[in-house]
Amino acid sequence: MTSKDYDSAMLREIRNSVAHLNSFNATQTFDYLASCMPPEEIAKYRRVILTGCGDSYCAGIAAKPVFENVESFKGTGMLPGTPTEALRNIEFTRYYNTYRGWDFNGPNAYRTLVCAVSFSGGPMRPREAMARINAVGGGSVAFTGNNNSNFAKEAKWVVNYNMAPGEPDVPQVRSYQASCFSLMMFGLYMSYCKGQMTRAQADEQRLAAMQYVNSFSGKVLADIEEKAFALAEKWEAIGVDLMDFVAEGADYATSFFGSAKMVESFGGLTTHDDAEDWLHINYFNRTPEKVGTFIIANETSPSFGRDLETIKVMVDVGRPLAIITDAEDISVFPEEATVFQLPKPKYRWANPLMQHIPMDYVAAFVGLMRGEYPYRRNQAPHDRDPHASRFIQSKMVVLGKED
């Protein structure tokens, strides 16, 4: 069997990811974003909160550096971006408190912009986020593929993905990429509206991101597929039954996302942590030879040095290890590890757009190898909540202005 003998809706999404982002890029122009939320509105906001559930929360973590404009203020004399937080949806809607200045009769509240992400628009919690920020007078933007959802209707502004509907029951790759990309472009748009970068800089950064995406086409993606297939076969052969994901900063989004794909695709156990805390906690797993470990160690990341040290310990303790990296010289990694050497983006915030691909492939292949149906649909006991009432029918609670 080779990887080409396998096919599934998820695999088709991964194989089409470059083409998909290209067509998505064509619809999410800065002019389109300006038609969603006018520049004079967006320029008012001094704090941004990115939120969503599951994959959408990950998209927020991935896009945060773009809102903070970490790349362009260095050495260019431009201003840093808007202070931005990526929050778990429940933490924003139920726990985000007034101590952040929300009780100063307004200014901080009405200068906070909440960008909530939900591709389907179905879950209650993102809608609750929109209602909550509206209740204190702040700004609400819905990022969604469903313009008619109650979630979109709750928001003051809507960024619609205008994407054709995908196949049913797929662990989502397409919508995650769209959410990341859309939020990132919105971050660039916000930065140039606020004068933190020029329009030319924003265009240049978008172009660089697309160049990075396109560098995955053809043989590069096919090679990743082969390598991921071999990895999936190897890990199935040694009986990997827990997967551990390690990354820091915006790359944490990728590792969290990757872990979710494993759960969705074949129900596998996963856990995730950063490279420092991993040494304190997850290091102690009793059966290291059965814990498939992914670490994202990008040369462009400020914690690359610590990643290398952690990788040494991982190999030393006997973990089956896969490294995802944008490093040009991969001789720094131990031979025992499977290294996915990915193209290096000009701006490091673009990494989360594509670096999840190896994990997605592993998720898809292992799912097919085990004959697992995504989301355990129509199987006991998971069929006891067939319409996902656990998050669609959840009660909406809007915390208003407290003191």
Partner 1 sequence: MDRRDYENSLVKQSKVCQQTVEAVMNNIDYQALGEVMPIKEIFDAQKIIITGMGDSWLAGVAMKPVFEAVAKVETDAMRAIEFSRHLSSKQLGFSPNTPMVIGISVSGNPARVAECLQRADHYGANTILITDQPNSPSAQVARHVLHVGLPEGTPYGPGANSYIGSLVALTLMALRIGRVKNTISQNQYEDMKKAIMDYTVEVCAKMESFADQAFELAQTWKDLKAYDFIGDYADYATAFFGSAKVLEAFGGYTTYDDSEDWCHINFFLKHPETIGRVVIANSDTPSFNRLKETMAAIEKLESPCMVVTDADKSEFPASFNVFTFPKPRYFWLAPIMQHWAFDLVADYICELNGITQFRRDMPAFDTEIGKKRLRGGTEIVIV
| Closest CB to partner 1 among residues 198, 285 | 285
| Closest CB to partner 1 among residues 119, 157 | 119
Q: Which of 248, 255, 347, 349 binds partner 1 (CB under 8 A)?
A: 248
Q: Which of 9, 34, 70, 332 binds partner 1 (CB under 8 A)?
A: 70
| Closest CB to partner 1 among residues 68, 225 | 68
Q: Is 274 in the site for partner 1 (CB under 8 A)?
A: yes
| Closest CB to partner 1 among residues 3, 270 | 270
Closest to 333 measured CA to CA, from 377, 370, 298: 298
| Closest CB to partner 1 among residues 79, 230 | 79
Q: Is 395 in the site for partner 1 (CB under 8 A)?
A: yes
Bridge partners of 292?
A: 243
Q: Is 336 in the site for partner 1 (CB under 8 A)?
A: no
Give the shortest CB-307-to-partner 1 separation in angstroms.
10
Q: Is 385 in the site for partner 1 (CB under 8 A)?
A: yes
Q: Enter the tokens of residue 241.
A: 């039954």
Are the C-beta atoms of 292 and 320 separated by less than 8 Å?
Answer: yes
Question: By rule CB under 8 A, what count of residues binds partner 1?
Answer: 76
Interatomic CA distance for residues 266 and 318, integer angstroms:
24
Give the shortest CB-379-to-partner 1 separation in angstroms.
9
Interatomic CA distance for residues 114 and 139, integer angstroms:
6
Q: Which of 99, 164, 219, 371 binds partner 1 (CB under 8 A)?
A: 99
- Identify the three-state secondary structure at position 94: helix
Give the shortest CB-226-to-partner 1 separation in angstroms.
27
| Closest CB to partner 1 among residues 44, 312 | 312
Q: Is 381 in the site for partner 1 (CB under 8 A)?
A: yes
Residues 3-62 that bind partner 1 (CB under 8 A): 53-55, 57
Q: Provide DSSP, 368-402.
A: HHHTPPGGGTT-TTGGGSTT-HHHHSPPP------
Q: Which of 270, 293, 338, 351 binds partner 1 (CB under 8 A)?
A: 270
Q: Is 135 in the site for partner 1 (CB under 8 A)?
A: no
Q: Is 266 in the site for partner 1 (CB under 8 A)?
A: yes
Give the shortest CB-303-to-partner 1 separation in angstroms.
4
What does the chain come to in residues? 403
Q: Is 269 in the site for partner 1 (CB under 8 A)?
A: yes
Interatomic CA distance for residues 281 and 374, integer angstroms:
30
Q: Is 376 in the site for partner 1 (CB under 8 A)?
A: yes
Bridge partners of 293?
A: 244, 321
Q: Is 107 in the site for partner 1 (CB under 8 A)?
A: no
Q: Enter the tokens of residue 106.
A: 């307004």
Bridge partners of 339?
A: 323
| Closest CB to partner 1 among residues 13, 273 | 273
Q: Which of 60, 121, 123, 352 binds partner 1 (CB under 8 A)?
A: 123
Cα distance from N-terminal residue to C-terminal residue, the chain: 63
C-beta pairs of 148-156 under 8 Å, 24+ apart in sequence:
148/121, 149/118, 149/120, 149/121, 149/122, 150/121, 151/116, 151/118, 151/121, 151/122, 151/123, 151/126, 151/127, 152/121, 154/127, 154/130, 155/116, 155/130
The tally of CA atoms less than 13 A away on the side-chain side of residue 307 is: 28
Residues 79-98 that bind partner 1 (CB under 8 A): 80, 83, 88-91, 94-95, 97
H/E element, 265: helix 251-266
Give the shortest CB-187-to-partner 1 separation in angstroms.
14
Cα pseudo-dihedral 206, 346, 180, 57, rounded to 10: -140
Q: Is 249 in the site for partner 1 (CB under 8 A)?
A: yes
Residues 276-315 that bind partner 1 (CB under 8 A): 276-277, 279-288, 301-303, 305-306, 309-310, 312-313
Give the shortest CB-271-to-partner 1 separation in angstroms.
5
| Closest CB to partner 1 among residues 54, 358 | 54
Residues 152-211 that bind partner 1 (CB under 8 A): none
The contacts of residue 102 (CB under 8 Å, 6+ apart) are 108, 109, 112, 136, 401, 402
| Closest CB to partner 1 among residues 134, 271 | 271
